[in-house]
Every structure is written in structure tokens, then in C-alpha cells.
Amino acid sequence: MLYALHEIFTTLQGEGRNTGKPCVFVRFAGCNLQCPWCDTDFSPKVHLKTEALLARIADSGVKNVIFTGGEPLLQRGLEPLAKQLKAQGYWLGIETNGTIEPPESLRASLDYIATSPKMGAPLMITRAHEVRLVVAEDVTAAWCRSVRDAVAAEDYYLSPCDVGGVLHVHPAITLLGELNASPLVSPWRLSLQTHKLAGIP
């Protein structure tokens, strides 16, 4: 199998429940959305066969791997790759925009699913471990609640939108207050992109 990648890098997870967890990020090329505020480059930079990719991951010395993008669920051959990594004792996570429902055969190898749905995009995923919504200008409380109704998760986060290197925190915490005005079993929480605040990849 040949995998189209943008990059592979090792750093600390910067957002959500696993903030601070050392991880190898495998950033696959390609995305099926074009969010106007997106600052992620997901153009193809390198193509690696399975064994070469596994070797790059092993060379990191870190046993936690996160598939990201772009949209990693567009990548052919993700299931056998995940199965091989799981057999080698890796903790596996995925970050997805929620437009594709992960097949059960892939879910069986994943320890963690984080989804970040976008307003106006189809929402196909039905369950995850955490939901992270980026608070851009058009995000409303009603839409946040609709996502929560559609996606069963353990944790729900709001992430301030990064525009030109500036995190717009005030709109996010204002919306957080509105969503948490009524008691919830799992309240909405704020998730800052701490890797950007710390100046790490």
C-alpha cells in the first residue's frame, strides 16, 4: 500500500482530553472540506509504502500515534495500517471532521476518536470519544446543540478560532456560557490549542 502524506512529526498533543500526551502525528494529504479559516497544509509532500511508514513511526520512539489531516478517513489502506500498529502495541487515535463514519473494522483498532464537525458540512459520524467545535464567526449555540444530539461522546469542547495567529477566545467562552447555562451531565469545556501557545509543532 502506498500512503499519501503531508508530514510525520512527533510532539505533544495540544488540545482536548489528551493534551500533553507525546504522540507521533501522521498527517495524511487531502481533505474533503475547504474551511476559510483553516491554517493546516494538507497537500501531498511524500508517498510512503507501508513498511517505510511503519519504520518512520518506530524511529520516533513514541508509542502513541494520531492519524490526522486534512481528513484521514479519505486515505485508502487506513484499516490494515491501524491493525498492524495495534498489533505492535501502539495507542491509536484519529482526528476527523465527521463527514465520514469510521467503519467498525477500523474502530476496532482505534483507542480514541476526536471529531471536529464544521457548520454547513454533512455530519455522518455518530459516536466519538470527544467532539471539538472550532468557534468561528458563524457558529451558533443551536448548531452546537444539534451536533451534540447527533454525536454521542464523552467530552464536548469549544476551540477558539485561530485567525492570523490570534486565538479569538472571547467568542468561545461567551458561547460556552450560553451552552452551559443549564446543567449538563457532561458540560461543554474550553480547549485551547496549547501547542500554539507554547510555540511547538
Cite the active site residues.
25, 31, 35, 38-40, 95, 195
User: Which is nearest to 66 in space by CA: 19, 117, 119, 135?
Assistant: 19
Rg (CA), the chain: 17
d(CA 68, CA 84): 17
Q: How far apart are CA 130 and CA 101, in angstroms?
A: 15
For residue 44, the one-letter residue type is: P
- Please give the sequence-ordered ranges of beta strands (E in DSSP) within 50-105, or none if there are none: 64-68, 91-96
**Distances, alpha carbon 170 to alpha carbons 6, 115, 161, 183, in Å:** 32, 23, 10, 22
Side chain identity at residue 96, one-letter code: T
Please state the φ and ψ torsions of residue 131, each to the nearest 5 degrees: -115, 130
Phi/psi of residue 182, each to 5°? -105, 145
Decide: helix, strand or coil at residue 143: helix
